Amino acid sequence: MQTIPKSPEGKTQTTYFCGMISRPSFFVFAALATLLFSFANSAFPTVEKLGERLFFDPILSLDSTVSCASCHIPQFAFADTARLSRGVGGRLGRRNAPAVTNMSARQHFFFDGRALTLEQQVLMPIQDTLEMRATPELVTSRLRSSGDYSVAFQQLFGKQADMGSLANALAAYIRTLETSDTPFDRWMQDKPNPMSEAAVRGREIFMNKGKCFDCHFSPDFTGDEFRNIGLFNGKDLNDTGRFAITRDSADLGKMKVPGLRNVAVTAPYMHNGMFGTLEEVIDYYDNPNAFVHNSIGRDTLLARPLGLTPQEKSDLKSFLEALTDEQF
């Protein structure tokens, strides 16, 4: 028995289920429940739900072995745990796969900023020869010949699946991956279970002595700028970054500054995945010269060692860990 809200006449309505209803009514109810479940799970009632299904479906890759989620793993804030991800046929990617949470406010995508919108970004890995290696013709043919997807695109976009509507669906899902339930957020809002005392001290280091805030500001801890942090020397570190897009010598070695939300679960770090822990990242920023000699075009913010003490490094790490959303 279930009591539901009052009727327009002010009377409380009571409905009886299962054993208290007649057999014909039960089968009508069961059929309706099955239909609703089928719609929710197959017909994709929203563009976001369609995008979610596509994000996890390897149908978008050449041989149906790789999905978006293969390199953007949910339990790691939609980042990868490998230094470089592997695509179709085991091909090794060029750069570390970044997290795709908190993308709604971004102005550029990829480390080199070659995409200006999420809709542009989501299609590039599908066609990249080192990643999913598919073609628009192959992808749209598969989606149109799939019963569920064919119906979904017709219902949600009023047309057969094409690369534009595919991009819209995937981007819509990624925009749902915003995170804000962290110890830091609770501390800022004077809510229960805020940051630890060590993390509060670490925030002070982050804001001042560590100079982190100069590049990692805004609610998502990025200014969406491009910076050369010293990981380019033209030899063993030869990824030219932003320069490959702009051809401006001032951009040589620059990479897009990533947001830091959930950073504690997105190792390894940097565009090439060269650091496996937050401790290594902090040690690098404390004294880049100890890691990379003869770097070219390194930002003047990193011209001198920071001189962080072991306690300050530990506190800074505690603050970075406090940026992790509860779901991770």
Q: Where are the beta strands (DSSP E) in 240-303?
A: 255-256
Query: What pLDDT digit, counting tens, does each position of 84-119 carry?
Result: 999 999 999 999 999 999 999 999 999 999 999 999
Strand partners, 241: 254
- Residue 293's pLDDT is 86
- Using alpha carbons, select from 129, 107, 127, 134 the residue that is nearest to residue 118: 107
Q: CA–CA separation, 326 vs 320, rounded Å?
A: 14
- Residue 180's pLDDT is 95
Give, as one character, the DSSP assignment of residue 162.
Answer: -
Number of H helices, E strands in the chain: 12, 4
Angle, vertex CA 91, rays to CA 89 and CA 94, nearest 5? 155
- Torsion of the alpha carbons at 257, 239, 74 and 160, rounded to the nearest 10: 100
Q: What is the pTM for the complete model shown? A: 0.84
Q: What are phi and psi of 269, to 5 degrees?
A: -115, 165
- Residue 317's pLDDT is 98
- Residue 142's pLDDT is 97
Q: CA–CA separation, 54 vs 168, rounded Å?
A: 11
Low-confidence spans in the chain with pLDDT less than 50: 1-41
CATH of domain 47-174: 1.10.760.10
Sequence-distant (6+) residues with CB within 8 A of 12 are 3, 6
Give, as one character, the DSSP assignment of residue 254.
Answer: B
State the CATH class of domain 183-321: mainly alpha
Q: CA–CA separation, 22 vs 2, rounded Å?
A: 17
- Residue 152's pLDDT is 96
What residues does each domain of the chain span? 2-41, 47-174, 183-321
Q: What are phi and psi of 119, to 5 degrees?
A: -60, -35
Q: CA–CA separation, 158 vs 152, rounded Å?
A: 9
Q: Where are the beta strands (DSSP E) in the chain?
A: 2-4, 13-15, 226-227, 255-256
Tokens 């001189």 sit on residue: 307
